[in-house]
Amino acid sequence: METLERLLLGHPFFTDLDPAIGRILVGCARNLRFAPGEFLFRENEPANEFFLVREGNVALELHVPGRPPLVIGTLGAGEIVGASWLVPPYRWNFDARAVAATRAFGIDAACLRDKCEADHHLGYEMMKRLLPVMVGRMQAARQQLLDVYGHPGT
Amino acid sequence: MPEPRTQPSVLLGARVLLPRPALQDLIDALAACGFEVIGPRARDGAIVYDRLRRIEELPAGWTDRQDGGTYGLERRSDAALFGYAVGPHSWKQFLHPPQERLWRARRREDGFAIEPEPAPPSRLAFIGVRACELHAIAIQDRVFMGGAHKDTGYEARRRGAFVVAVNCGTAGGTCFCASMETGPRAEAGFDLALTELIGGTRHDFLMEAGSEAGAALLAGLPTRPAGAADIAAAEAVVARTAASMGRTMDTVGLKSLLQDHPEHPRWDEVASRCLACANCTMVCPTCFCTTVTDHTDLAGQEAERVRHWDSCFTADFSYIHGGSVRSSTKSRYRQWMTHKLAHWIDQFGTSGCVGCGRCITWCPVGIDITAEAAAIRADPAAHGTKRGTSHGNP
Amino acid sequence: MNASVAPDPMLPQPWRVQAVRRETADVVSLDLVPLAGAPMPFKPGQFNMLYAFGIGEVPVSLSGDPADASRFVHTVRAVGAVSGAIAAATPGTVLGLRGPFGSAWPVAAAAGHDILIIAGGLGLAPLRPAIYHVLANSERFGRIAVLYGSRGPAELLFHDELARWRGRLDMEVEITVDHADPSWHGRVGVVPGLIDKVAFDPKNTVALVCGPEVMIRFTVAGLRAAGVADDHVHVSMERNMKCAVGLCGHCQFGPDFVCKDGAVLAYDRIAARLAAREI
């Protein structure tokens, strides 16, 4: 437990986190390994876990009938995977597939939501860490939409 | 420059009188030196610059009435030869022609060969160059000859040119050279300068040599010494002109005023009037922008590149694959005016405006560069409507 | 300088295409040698005007090794009539060439610093001479990183070199694409997202950035967020060019002529202009 707490708080997402909050969070966390090709989650499944990648590489994919899946982003060591666990109806919007052997922490979503609800200090701390990542992803997605390298006029 | 035929007896800067009929001798002397002489003529309702052989071709007794979007020739009460301000033409069209072939290419066994355009055949002499136009030529000298890469065609034409300046006896309604410090007196950049002295039975030109070549030419003309009264009369002509400018431009801090306010609401306002017709850039004596077109013959054996005047008011001007950088009229007017009055100083160490007023006169809707500058100066901190306004009460 | 330098900068000189390498579906690299004389030296970041007989002329940056005096290498994307004709050249084709023109990546001034070379799309071509220079003189630099993004895996330039660079111990290479299918095992995402994937000291880093203007803006925002000062960031601008020597007026960007003051410009010099519209 002590080791998991130390490792969890060592993840960049939790940089400078109040150790007291860390002790609360670790109760919801577990260590995970994914082989290449293995899914962390798939579209429309219940979003019941929040992932923090320790090493490896995870592709977010959108399944399109009749053609190969579209990779909309890749996430690696130090990054977090998944936001759907935060907002009802708590179902994944994409597939997340390990591209390489991947190690991650999983934090049980219901457990984490309950703790945020019960302790708004903890909840606000989580919000301050999650929101910049989400805004950054949204901005990156907008840049991808621009297709800046595409043929002009097409 | 003409070869001195005699030892100059007229000293550089000294003043002598040339009677009106002897102006023909000046033209003839220039022609004899091999110059193609160009001067003002009244034609198609305007003073234009064209080939000049006889002083009878000069616009005797004509003056011009100018205001925003307005130009017309009127009769003077005298027979002054240079009694107008400036017309739609400037000397730019001779030194920096509106259209010019840069080179020709011919296919060969091993690819193709480029043949440069031959040097211009004749040397040009300009008669009737105003002080603002001397400054405009000096500005284009910096543009085309002042950098690491020179425009060889311009340089050849410019080096060969002989300039006879005229001190202005009349300010046009859109003139503002006095505030740009570019006139109305010709201070430098001429071979000869003349001031027209007319009144009663008198019709002479007070001549001043600005170069050795000018002094040499003057030495061969039937001049007589000028007296203190003649010199005073000429000074009075210029002083009267300076005091009767149709417009003024406040240049203090103008560069940063424009460069620091690219989002001033006045740009939107002027864009609502501007037709983006490019007239201002065509008549401007300093606007230098060009584009090139490449052509081939039908057999594809010969090709050429032709350069034409271009204007920052066209959509194509700023085109990069996909679209124009400056798609709005607002951005094009802002580019033109900010370049002219501000960026030019960074680029060439001088304003690009000489206060000749052509852009005001020849604008079909009478947009006035001095008024636009004044409007931004009046309220530099003005905001556009885009940022919203807060109201004290809900 | 040598005999092949034309006295008139407006006169193209004939150069022969010696070799053509297809980089992507619509991008080729051409090796050019002069019909007379030898290539002139060039600095990383400079460009030439390339002329297709009777069709027209476009600016194309030099993409070869500045230490290789035997030829000019240009990487061209077929986007219009002129670039299409140039990209369709075959060995033996003669093109007109004027140049080299323009400013250079400040590789000498960057010595002693960590160096981030950040490219988007075709922007890797004008940066490749800088990469060659930096790698040939790697002992003069701190950490060296190349960050590169393209639309998709098929649009990545210089595959073999990217692979070679990735194998070097004295540099980091991070590549991303905007879109991919699962056969691509690399990163998917935008170029600014690569900045925190490599090691550098933001207080002692020089960044060279080239790509579409939008990519440049977002990348510089990422560099600022990482703590790199604006005056240590250099970008290559693109504007309409006709003469390449500051005489035609087309490429003006505020007080600068992109052809002679740029194309490489220090970001602190142009930040306000990049933020304004339609300058």
Question: What does the alpha-carbon distance between residue B186 and residue B192 come to, in Å, rounded to a whole number?
Answer: 10
C236: helix, coil or strand? strand
Record the tokens describing residue C222, joined without a space: 């990422």
Question: What does the alpha-carbon distance between residue C78 and residue C61 come to, in Å, rounded to a whole number?
Answer: 14
Other beta carbons within 10 angstroms of residue A135's beta carbon come to 10
C228: helix, coil or strand? coil
Q: Is C143 on the interface with B (CB under 8 A)?
A: no
CB contact under 8 A, C178 and A74: no
Angle at A138 (CA atoms; ends A137, A143), nearest 5 degrees: 95
* Contacts across the A-B interface (CB distance below 8 Å): 6
Shortest distance between the Cα of B322 and any Cα of chain A, in A, equals 5
Residue A152 lies in a domain: no
ipTM: 0.92
Q: Which residue of A has its CA nearest to C192?
A: A140
Q: Is B151 on the interface with C (CB under 8 A)?
A: yes
Does the structure show a pLDDT above 80 at B5?
no
Q: Is A27 on the interface with C (CB under 8 A)?
A: no
Q: What is the CA radius of gyration of chain B?
A: 23
By the 10 Å C-beta count (0-12 exposed, 13-18 middle, 19+ buried), C163 is classed as: exposed
Q: Is B321 on the interface with A (CB under 8 A)?
A: yes
Q: Residue A19 maps to which CATH number?
A: 2.60.120.10
Does the structure show a pLDDT above 50 at A153?
no
Of C53, C56, C242, the CB nearest to B112: C53
Question: What does the alpha-carbon distance between residue C196 and residue C200 come to, in Å, rounded to a whole number?
Answer: 9
Q: Domain range holding A58? A: 2-146
Interface of B with A in 3-22 (CB under 8 A): none
Closest to B148 measured CA to CA, from C9, C96, C258: C9
Q: Is C162 on the interface with B (CB under 8 A)?
A: no
Shortest distance between the Cα of C29 and any Cα of chain B, in A, equals 20
pLDDT at residue B200, rounded to an integer:
86
CB contact under 8 A, A69 and C181: yes
Residue A153 lies in a domain: no
Record the tokens describing residue C270, joined without a space: 């142009």
Closest to B123 measured CA to CA, from B32, B41, B207: B32
Q: Which residue of B has its CA nearest to C242?
A: B291
Does the structure show a pLDDT above 60 at A135?
yes
pLDDT tens-digit readout, B266-322: 999 999 999 999 999 999 999 999 999 999 998 889 999 999 999 999 999 999 877
Closest to C256 measured CA to CA, from C275, C279, C277, C276: C279
Please spell the DSSP secondary structure of B280-307, one letter per residue.
HHHH-SS---EEEEEEE-TTSSEEEEEE
Does the structure show a pLDDT above 60 at B392?
no
Shortest distance between the Cα of B320 and any Cα of chain A, in A, equals 10
**Weakest-pLDDT range from A96-110, B27-41, B109-123:** B109-123
Question: What does the alpha-carbon distance between residue B267 and residue B264 come to, in Å, rounded to a whole number?
Answer: 6
Q: Which residue of A has its CA nearest to B322?
A: A152
**Weakest-pLDDT range from A145-154, B152-161, B242-251, C57-66:** A145-154
Q: How confident is the model at residue B389 (pLDDT cuts 50, 70, 90)?
A: low
Contact between residue C168 and residue C141 where contact means Cβ atoms under 8 Å apart: no
Sheet hosting strand C56-61, strand order edge to edge:
C56-61, C47-52, C94-101, C13-24, C27-34, C72-77
Closest to B368 measured CA to CA, from B245, B249, B243: B249
CB contact under 8 A, A143 and C197: no
Give buried/exposed letters for B343-370 (b at 16+ CB in 10 A, else e).
bbeebbebbbbbbbbbbbbbbeeebbbb
Record the tokens describing residue A104, joined without a space: 């991650």
Shortest distance between the Cα of A103 and any Cα of chain B, in A, equals 45
CB contact under 8 A, A140 and C181: no
CB contact under 8 A, C53 and B113: no
Does the structure show a pLDDT above 60 at A88?
yes
The subunits that touch chain C, with at least 3 C-beta pairs less than 8 Å apart, are A, B
Alpha helix (H) residue ranges in C31-112 = 81-87
**Weakest-pLDDT range from A140-154, C19-33, C164-178, C254-268:** A140-154
pLDDT at residue C5, rounded to an integer:
42
Question: What does the alpha-carbon distance between residue A97 and residue A95 come to, in Å, rounded to a whole number?
Answer: 6
Taking residues A133-152, what's their average pLDDT? 88
User: Cβ contacts (< 8 Å) between C249 and chain B: which residues?
Assistant: 288-290, 310, 312
Of C10, C14, C249, the CB nearest to B289: C249
pLDDT tens-digit readout, B200-256: 899 999 999 999 999 999 999 999 999 999 999 999 999 999 999 999 999 999 999
Helices (H) and strands (E) in chain A, counts: 4, 8
Of A61, A140, A149, the CB nearest to C155: A149
Phi first, then psi: what are they for C173, rounded to 5°? -130, 125
Closest to B186 measured CA to CA, from B262, B244, B237: B237
Question: What does the alpha-carbon distance between residue C176 and residue C148 come to, in Å, rounded to a whole number?
Answer: 6
Phi first, then psi: what are they for C166, rounded to 5°? -65, -25
Shortest distance between the Cα of C87 and any Cα of chain B, in A, equals 16
Q: What domains sit in chain C, N to C, each tagged with a CATH number? A: 13-101 (2.40.30.10), 114-236 (3.40.50.80)
Does the structure show a pLDDT above 80 at B10?
no
Closest to B127 measured CA to CA, from B156, B166, B169: B166
pLDDT tens-digit readout, C157-199: 999 999 999 999 999 999 999 999 989 999 999 999 999 999 9
User: Cβ contacts (< 8 Å) between B325 and chain C: which residues?
Assistant: 239-240, 278-279
Using a CB–CB cut-off of 8 Å, the residues of A that contact B are: 152-153
Does the structure show a pLDDT above 50 at B134?
yes
Closest to B2 measured CA to CA, from B199, B284, B213, B188: B213
Residue A101 lies in a domain: yes
Question: What does the alpha-carbon distance between residue A112 and residue A132 come to, in Å, rounded to a whole number?
Answer: 19
Helix, strand, coil percentages (3-state) for chain A, rounded to 5, are: 40, 30, 30
Of C178, C184, C186, the CB nearest to A147: C178
User: Cβ contacts (< 8 Å) between A153 and chain B: which residues?
Assistant: 321-323
pLDDT at residue B162, rounded to an integer:
98
Does the structure show a pLDDT above 70 at A31?
yes
Contact between residue A14 and residue A7 where contact means Cβ atoms under 8 Å apart: no
Other beta carbons within 10 angstroms of residue C7's beta carbon come to 8
Question: What does the alpha-carbon distance between residue C140 and residue B141 come to, in Å, rounded to a whole number?
Answer: 44
Shortest distance between the Cα of B325 and any Cα of chain A, in A, equals 13
Interface of C with B in 100-119 (CB under 8 A): none
Of B110, B296, B343, the CB nearest to C255: B343
pLDDT at residue B94, rounded to an integer:
97
CB contact under 8 A, A149 and C181: no
As for how many domains chain A has, the answer is 1
Taking residues C69-85, what's their average pLDDT? 95
User: Cβ contacts (< 8 Å) between C218 and chain A: which residues?
Assistant: 139, 143
User: Cβ contacts (< 8 Å) between B113 and chain C: which residues?
Assistant: 14
Question: What does the alpha-carbon distance between residue B94 and residue C127 come to, in Å, rounded to a whole number?
Answer: 43
Residue A151 lies in a domain: no
Share of chain B above pLDDT 90, in %: 88
Alpha helix (H) residue ranges in chain A = 2-10, 19-26, 109-118, 120-146
pLDDT at residue A112, rounded to an integer:
96
Interface with chain C: mutation pick from B103, B106, B107, B112, highest number of C CBs within 10 Å: B112
pLDDT tens-digit readout, B74-107: 999 999 999 999 999 999 999 999 999 999 999 9
pLDDT at residue C38, rounded to an integer:
87
Interface with chain C: mutation pick from B92, B95, B106, B149, highest number of C CBs within 10 Å: B149
Taking residues B141-149, what's their average pLDDT? 95
CB contact under 8 A, C278 and B327: yes
Question: What does the alpha-carbon distance between residue C50 and residue C31 come to, in Å, rounded to a whole number?
Answer: 12
Q: How confident is the model at residue A150 (pLDDT cuts 50, 70, 90)?
A: confident
